[in-house]
Amino acid sequence: MDHEARVATLPGARFRARAQRRVRHLADAVLGADNRLRIRVTQWLITVIVYAGCGLVFGLAVHGDWVSVGGPALAWCVFVASNLVAVYIALRTGWSARFQDAGLTTVQIVMGVVAVCWAYVLAGPFRTAVLLALLLTLVYGAFSLGWRRIMAVTGFALLALVAAIVIRNGAVGADSGRPQVEGLRIDLFNLGMTTVLLPATSLVAARLSSLRGKLRLERRALKQALGEVQRLATRDELTGLPNRRHMQELLDREHARHERSPQVFSVALIDLDHFKRINDCHGHAAGDAVLRSFALTAVAGLRGQDVMGRWGGEEFLLLMPGTAADQALASVQRMLGKVRHLPYMADEALSFSAGVAEYRAGDTIAQLLEQADARMYAAKRAGRGIVRLD
Ligand SMILES: Nc1nc2c(ncn2[C@@H]2O[C@H](COP(=O)(O)OP(=O)(O)OP(=O)(O)O)[C@@H](O)[C@H]2O)c(=O)[nH]1
C-alpha cells in the first residue's frame, strides 16, 4: 500500500473525508449544485447575514432601552424575513431563471430600500447610522445591474427616504403635539448628505458594473482567441488533420502509456504516389484539393481510436492504438482500396505507398518511425500502391 493510500485509511483522515462529504452535501442542498445558482444564492446569503448583523445591533439597543420601538419592530422583522424567504424560494427553485434579472437583484434592492427607510423611521436618535445600509444596498446592484437601472433604484431610494422623513416627523408631531425642530434638522441634514452621496455611490457602482461587463467580454474574446491559437498550433491548415507537432505529441503520449501499462500499438507512414505529376498536370490548386479529399476519405474509414495526421507534404502518419501489426496492415490496405476511387480522380487512380510498424518494447518512437519509413520506401521501390510490413 503506498503512502497516500495508507494516509487515507487512518481514522482521522476518514473522519475528515466524511465531514467534508457532509459539508459538500449540505452546501449542495442549500446553495444548489449549479454554479450560477450558487452565485445567486450565496449573494442572497450575504444579504441575510448583513440583515442579521444589523438586526443584532438594533436588538441590543432595544434591549438596553436606548431606543423604544414596540410593535412596529416586529412588523419590520416579519416583512424582512418573509421577503428573504420568498426570494430564496424563487432563486433556489429556479423560478427566477425565467427573468432577465435572474438573481432578482432589482427586487432585492427595492426590498432593501424599503426595509432601510422603515428602519430609519423606527431607529429614533440612531437613524443616521441606518443610512449606511442604504449605500450598501445600492452597491449591491453593481454586480449585475445596468447603468440605467442603478440610477432608477437610486431615485427610488431618495424618494423612499423623503417619505420616511415625512412619516417620522408626522408620527413625532402626533405624539408630542408639534413637530420637533431639532429632529427635523437632523432629518434634513441626512437627506442633503444622502442626496449627494447616494448618486455618487451609484455612479461608482455603475462604473464597476460596466467594468465587469467589459472584463467579461474581454475574457470571452480571449478564450475564443486561445481556442483558435490552440487549433492553429495543432492542426494542419490545408487538410484540417493534426499537424506533425501534434502527431509527435500523440506518439510520445502513446509511448508513455505503453511504459505504464504495456498495450500494443502500430503506426503507418503513408506517402501519395507520383504526387508531383498531379501538380504538374492539373496545377497546384488541384493538388491541394486531392490532398484534402484524400484526408477526408482516409479519416472517414478510421476506427474511433485511430488518428491520422499530416506528416509533411504528401506524407501522412497513422497512429493506431491497441492495434497489432497484422490488423494495422489490413486497415491501411482497406484505405488504399478506398482512395483509388476518389471522385475527381476518374482519369488516373490515386494510390499511396505505406510502411506499417508495430511498437516493440524498449524501442524509441524515432526507431519505430524509422522502421515504418524504411518499409514505405521499400514499397515505393517495389512498384508503389503497396503496403509493406517487412
Ligand atoms: N499541391 C500541393 N503539393 C504539395 C504540397 N506539399 C508537397 N507537394 C508536392 O508534392 C510533390 C512531391 O513530389 P515527390 O517528392 O517527387 O514525390 P512524388 O511525385 O509523390 O513521387 P513518389 O513519392 O516517389 O511517388 C512535390 O511536387 C511537392 O511540391 C501541398 O501542400 N500542396
Q: What is the DSSP letter of 388?
A: E
Question: Which of 229, 253, 270 is at the close of a domain?
Answer: 229
Domain membership of residue 23 (yes or no) is no
Residues 329 and 220 in one domain: no
In the prediction, which pLDDT does 11 show?
A: 67
Domain membership of residue 79 (yes or no) is yes
Question: Which of 196, 229, 262 is at the close of a domain?
Answer: 229
Q: Which domain holds residue 104?
A: 32-229
Residue 346 has pLDDT above 60, yes or no: no
Q: How far apart are the first and last CA of the chain?
A: 45
Residues 209 and 255 in one domain: no
Mean pLDDT of 77-94: 93
Band (pLDDT 50/70/90 cuts) for residue 147 is confident
Residue 344 has pLDDT above 70, yes or no: no
In the prediction, which pLDDT does 19 show?
A: 86
Q: Ligand 1: which residue has its CA nearest to atom 32?
A: 288
Mean pLDDT of 10-21: 81
In the prediction, which pLDDT does 239 show?
A: 95
Each residue's pLDDT tens digit, 96-130: 989 888 889 899 999 999 999 999 999 888 999 99
By DSSP bridging, strand 315-321 and strand 307-312 are antiparallel
Residues 329 and 186 in one domain: no
Q: Ligand 1: which residue has its CA nearest to atom 27?
A: 276
Domain membership of residue 236 (yes or no) is no
In the prediction, which pLDDT does 36 show?
A: 83
Residue 207 has pLDDT above 90, yes or no: no
Band (pLDDT 50/70/90 cuts) for residue 204 is confident
Mean pLDDT of 357-377: 96
Ligand 1 atom having least distance to the Cα of 288:
1
Residues 190 and 323 in one domain: no
Q: 338: CA distance to ligand 1 center in Å? A: 20
Which among 314, 315, 348, 370 is annotated as catalytic?
A: 314
Contact (CB, 8 A) for 250 and 319: yes
Residues 224 and 251 in one domain: no
Mean pLDDT of 200-220: 87
Band (pLDDT 50/70/90 cuts) for residue 174 is low
Residue of 273, 274, 275 best suited for mutating to test ligand 1, as the one with most atoms within 8 Å of CB: 275
Residue 330 has pLDDT above 90, yes or no: yes
Residues 358 and 304 in one domain: yes
Whose cell is 445596468? That residue is: 146
Ligand 1 atom having least distance to the Cα of 271:
23
Residue 284 has pLDDT above 70, yes or no: yes
In the prediction, which pLDDT does 179 show?
A: 57
In the prediction, which pLDDT does 5 show?
A: 54
Residue 94 has pLDDT above 90, yes or no: no
Residues 221 and 258 in one domain: no
In the prediction, which pLDDT does 124 show?
A: 86
Domain membership of residue 205 (yes or no) is yes
Q: What is the DSSP letter of 311?
A: E
| Mean of the per-residue pLDDT values of the chain | 89
Domain membership of residue 341 (yes or no) is yes
Could you give the angle at which helices 105-122 and 127-140 cross, rounded to 10 degrees? 180
Band (pLDDT 50/70/90 cuts) for residue 312 is very high
Residues 256 and 320 in one domain: yes
Report which of 104, 106, 187, 115 is spatially closest to residue 154, judged by C-alpha positions.
106
Band (pLDDT 50/70/90 cuts) for residue 6 is low
Mean pLDDT of 3-19: 69
Question: Which of 199, 229, 259 is at the close of a domain?
Answer: 229
Domain membership of residue 234 (yes or no) is no
Domain membership of residue 10 (yes or no) is no
By DSSP bridging, strand 352-358 and strand 387-388 are parallel
Residue 328 has pLDDT above 90, yes or no: yes
What's the total number of domains in the chain?
Answer: 2
Model pTM?
Answer: 0.58
Residues 192 and 279 in one domain: no
Residues 70 and 110 in one domain: yes
Band (pLDDT 50/70/90 cuts) for residue 9 is low
Residues 134 and 254 in one domain: no
The CA distances from residue 4 to 9, 156, 261, in Å, are 9, 59, 21
CA dist 67 and 63 (Å) reads 8
Residues 258 and 365 in one domain: yes
Residue 326 has pLDDT above 80, yes or no: yes
Ligand 1 atom having least distance to the Cα of 272:
20
Ligand 1 interacting residues, C-beta cut-off 6 A: 238, 271-276, 279, 284, 287-288, 291, 313-314, 380, 384
CATH number for the domain harbouring residue 268: 3.30.70.270
CA dist 60 and 237 (Å) reads 72
CA dist 320 and 354 (Å) reads 14
- For residue 314, indicate whether it is catalytic: yes
Domain membership of residue 16 (yes or no) is no
Mean pLDDT of 287-310: 94
Contact (CB, 8 A) for 339 and 351: yes
